[in-house]
Structure 1
Amino acid sequence: MNVRRSAAVLAATAVIGAASPAVAADPSPSASPSSPALPPGLYGSANPQYDGVWRQSLALLAQHTAGVKPAAEAVTWLTGQQCASGAFAPFRADTAKACDAKLPVDSNNTAAAVQALAALGGHDAETARAVAWLKSVQNKDGGWGYAPGGASDTNSTSVVVGALTAVGEKPAQVEKGGNSAYDALLAFALPCKGAGAGAFAFQPGKAGELAANADATAAGVVGALGLGMVVEAGRKTDGDCAGSGNPTPRQAAANGASYLAGAVAKTGHLTSAMPGSTDQPDYGNTADAVVALAAQGGAGQAAKPLRWLERNSAAWARQSGPAAYAQLVFAAHATGTDPRDFGGTDLVARLNATGPAPRSADGQTGRSGADSDKADKADKKEQKGSSPSVWWIIGVGLVAGIGIGFLISGRNRRRKP
């Protein structure tokens, strides 16, 4: 629901299939001597310059969703990243220094932080400032772009819808120029006839044309339903794209789910491609598709891609980091699947082991322990059988990431369904 990252090759290790804007993972390689020192409380061991707030927000939200109480220092790290304006940037190395015009704050990191902090509770002041900032940068078409003033896109608009809903706002009543987020999303929805029937586009092309985008469709379905990253399974609905002319947001969501169902029908997963390379499975976008399908049509509709993730996502998540584990936790939750036994992987233990240990019953925190030991043993076992596709992801990621926003969610508007 995933959401955009600033252009940078550093953060691209998990770009292909990592946690996604439109509904992204820990995509940056390990910190180097020139990278910012990793601060205490942060999840993941990679350079946080381009995804620190994003991966932290997803990690905390996933822990909460799984019934885990995050470490106090992890929550403090996230709240400490907020600017006085209410906005969040991907990462602030020096939080003692006030945010200035050069700091690249954005809607995606801000909206993700709102969803996490709202779920945890006790952060009304922080979420109120963040939502006020989001409202101040809403576009006249009712949507949001990644950066303030940027053209609206499906992914950014959807993650902001999730933030508004998380704090009790009604997205339909948050308007600019007489338009709400739903007006913007409907403008990105393709009709039920022709190529990409029922899908959402990331943005209109130069001539105003709409091109189907699986990543944006997953985000658009969830956003059109007024939901955030954490969803409950919806009621089973007719899987066919229906209606024409001016669909309601709910009908557009149903149409988008129909498109996604068709996209995963053959293989069980979505794909990503780079020029000159063979199409590869897109793990993160597939996880987002599971969430969207379950939200719109119930767990049964998401069964095939869910089973594929259970069989194939462990190595990808291990390489990609906390946000990838979070995406899988969200997919498990949406379908009523146990995240502690996801195809034999304990996603919760793996996630917990990427940062400060969660608070125990007595409120104490600390690193190491059973989660870390369990994850280390599983890592050694998985490394013996790592699939070639994981290394393709890493190699491609090192040359990917050009264009603002494509690193936070690991999504590229040119990806194939």
Structure 2
Amino acid sequence: MFLRRSITAVAAATALCAVTAPAAQAAGSSSRAISGPPASAATEKKLPAGLYGKADPKYDGVWRQSMALLALDAAGAVPARKAVDWLAGQQCDDGSFTAYRADTGTTCDEKKTPGDTNATAAAVQALSAVGGQDAPVRKALAWLRSVQNKDGGWGYNPGSPSDANSVSVVVGALAAAGEQPEKAVKGGKSPYDALASLQLGCDAGKAKRGAFAYQPGKDGELAANDDATAAAVLAGAGSGMQAEKPSGRSAEAKPLECGKGDAGDGKPLGRDEAAGAGAAYLASVLEKNGHHLLAVTPGAEGEPDYGNTADAVIALAAGGHRAEARESLNWLAAKLDSWDKSEGDPAAVAGVMLAVHATGGDAATLKGTKLLDRLVATGPEPARMPDEKQATGAEKDEDDGAVLRWSLLGAGLAAGVGAGFLISARRKRQGQ
């Protein structure tokens, strides 16, 4: 969710995602749901029947499918089998996933299309949510552990420097699979150690304290990145993109306190303190901008960033800061139709659905907008919609009994009719 949006923005300018994606994200991003150029009629005909979205899936097929399945599950719908099978079928033999495999009958080429930690982690979250996919989930987690960096984090591709967004989506995968992210240790470092190294502390300006950088700059400097901060806050909550529905009272997002020997002394904050400080920074930025985040990509600077705002809602809600999250969700509800991707882009629609779910609402709708219907319109019809009643065991037994009774009755009638024909035929023969 927090990194994929930048990939297709640079896809037209490069054929090597592994190099450009981190650079694009470090500079900022404007729309997670960008999914390549509009699909031509020829492209649409070639798209798999189980895939959500009509645009070219080259750069985001696995990501948007994962988002769609997560949102369907959050709304109480049961995805179509072919939709789940399509995602599981994208897995490479080593357990990884790439952005998209047009031909799953060929072996993945690690040199041309190296494993994608973001796509792999997103797929793990989705397959864990829908259930019945233990084998591919285990293989994917094993691959993710094998490419973990010595600082405890992950980069976009194996061997690339750790970044806040990649670390977050992998933490979400571990959590979704029922594992404890803090126990995923490499070189004595956990994912939270990697995130702590990216957080701005008391040596930063007051307005930036608590924020997270995407990656360090050339000289090791850290620049606050709103999307990376949302990602780190979600990871700090130990949650994936499908955050659990909230319980209890909303917690206040408290800013980083300096002058007490914490980050001011160069000592990283603990997981909870780091997430709380990040949430406070995020909440302050949202309030300053009128409860939404702003785009920073070239040509879109200063415009509303709908996708990142949805990310922020999920992160704040997962951290227990529901009051701040709902303010931004209300903004999304009011401005949703101004977003050109809110109709036909499955990742965009799914992101908003997951934001609604995280704040305790019905993921199928937002202030009268039927989000689930919009998502379903982009792909295969779910096996069951949330409003379709699933028969209980007793009801099934009753139905089976009714079928049996009608079958017996039908058999009796048929037997009676048959006997009538036999009697009639016998009489005719006797009368001859």
Which category of TM-score, normalised to the shorter sequence, fits these structures?
A: 0.7 to 0.9
CA offset digits 1:158-202 (Å, max 9, x no partner): 000000111122111111111110110111111145331100100
Deviation at 1:238?
4.5
1:31 counterpart SS class? coil
1:87 counterpart SS class? coil
Amino acid in the other structure paired with 2:353: V
Q: Aligned partners of 1:10, 1:238: CA distance in 2, in Å?
A: 40
Matches within 5 A, 1:334-413: 334-360=358-384
Deviation at 1:278?
5.0
Aligned to 2:64: 55
Deviation at 1:339?
3.0
Amino acid in the other structure paired with 2:284: G
Deviation at 1:35?
4.9
Q: TM-score, normalised by structure 2?
A: 0.78
Deviation at 1:226?
1.5
Q: Aligned Cα RMSD in Å?
A: 2.3
Q: Aligned partners of 1:251, 1:308: CA distance in 2, in Å?
A: 28
Aligned to 2:229: 217
Amino acid in the other structure paired with 2:291: G
Deviation at 1:29?
2.2
Q: Aligned partners of 2:301, 2:59: CA distance in 1, in Å?
A: 27
Deviation at 1:353?
1.2
Q: Aligned partners of 2:194, 2:169: CA distance in 1, in Å?
A: 13
CA offset digits 1:244-296 (Å, max 9, x no partner): 33210111100000001110113111001344655100000000111111122
Aligned to 2:414: none
Deviation at 1:27?
2.1
116 and 177 in structure 1: CA distance in 2 versus 1, 3 angstrom threshold: same
Give the conservation status (yes or no) of the 8 Å contact 2:116–2:157: yes
Aligned to 1:327: 351
Deviation at 1:33?
6.9
Give the conservation status (yes or no) of the 8 Å contact 1:26–1:44: no
285 and 276 in structure 1: CA distance in 2 versus 1, 3 angstrom threshold: closer
178 and 16 in structure 1: CA distance in 2 versus 1, 3 angstrom threshold: closer
- Kindly indicate whether residue 220 of structure 2 is the aligned counterpart of residue 208 of structure 1: yes
Which structure exhibits the higher relative contact order, with contacts defined as CA atoms closer than 8 Å and separated by 6 or more residues? 1
Q: Aligned partners of 2:201, 2:301: CA distance in 1, in Å?
A: 30
Deviation at 1:362?
9.4
Question: Relative to structure 2, which stretch is displaced further, 306-315 or 136-145?
Answer: 306-315
CA offset digits 1:346-392 (Å, max 9, x no partner): 111111111000013699xxxxxxxxxxxxxxxxxxxxxxxxxxxxx
- Kindly indicate whether residue 299 of structure 2 is the aligned counterpart of residue 283 of structure 1: no
2:158 counterpart SS class? coil
Q: 1:253 aligns with which of 275, 278, 289?
A: 275
- Kindly indicate whether residue 152 of structure 2 is the aligned counterpart of residue 137 of structure 1: no
Give the conservation status (yes or no) of the 8 Å contact 1:25–1:320: no
Q: Percent identical across equivalent pairs?
A: 51
Q: TM-score, normalised by structure 1?
A: 0.80
Q: Aligned partners of 1:362, 1:237: CA distance in 2, in Å?
A: 39
Deviation at 1:71?
0.7
Q: Aligned partners of 1:270, 1:287: CA distance in 2, in Å?
A: 9
2:369 counterpart SS class? coil
Deviation at 1:32?
3.3
Q: Please list every run of 5 or more consecutive structure 2 residues that lacks an aligned counterpart in the other structure.
A: 15-20, 22-27, 391-432
306 and 362 in structure 1: CA distance in 2 versus 1, 3 angstrom threshold: closer
- Larger radius of gyration between Structure 1 and Structure 2: 2
206 and 10 in structure 1: CA distance in 2 versus 1, 3 angstrom threshold: closer
CA offset digits 1:306-353 (Å, max 9, x no partner): 111011123423356001111101110111123333132111111111
Amino acid in the other structure paired with 1:262: S
1:265 counterpart SS class? helix
Q: Aligned partners of 1:33, 1:10: CA distance in 2, in Å?
A: 23
Q: Aligned partners of 2:300, 2:311: CA distance in 1, in Å?
A: 23
Aligned to 1:29: 37
Q: 1:40 aligns with which of 49, 61, 64?
A: 49
Amino acid in the other structure paired with 2:39: A
Q: Aligned partners of 1:210, 1:322: CA distance in 2, in Å?
A: 33
CA offset digits 1:383-408 (Å, max 9, x no partner): xxxxxxxxxxxxxxxxxxxxxxxxxx
- Kindly indicate whether residue 252 of structure 2 is the aligned counterpart of residue 240 of structure 1: no
- Kindly indicate whether residue 167 of structure 2 is the aligned counterpart of residue 164 of structure 1: no
Q: Please list every run of 5 or more consecutive structure 1 residues that lacks an aligned counterpart in the other structure.
A: 19-23, 364-417
Give the conservation status (yes or no) of the 8 Å contact 1:189–1:198: yes
